[in-house]
Amino acid sequence: MVLAMKKLEHWYQMTDGFHLIIMTSETDLGISQQVNQMTLLLLYLI
């Protein structure tokens, strides 16, 4: 579980720069797609 948390933290660090771009320029569909990707990532880590 600790390893999964480290992976998740690393993933957030890698994608942190993209969050601002997505929140300011993407449509609601684009945002919902990223939420789906994050959900799939969490399921993969668990």
Gyration radius (Cα) of the chain, Å: 12
pTM of the model: 0.33
How far apart are the C-alpha atoms of 13 and 24, rounded to whole Å? 19
14-46 per-residue burial string, b: 16 or more CB within 10 A, e: under 16: eeeeeeeeeeeeeeeeeeeeeeeeeeeeeeeee
Please give the tally of structural domains in the chain. Answer: 1
pLDDT tens figures, 12-30: 666 665 665 555 555 555 6
* Domain assignment of residue 14, given as a range: 2-45
Please report which confidence band the pLDDT of residue 38 belongs to, taking 50, 70 and 90 as the band edges: confident
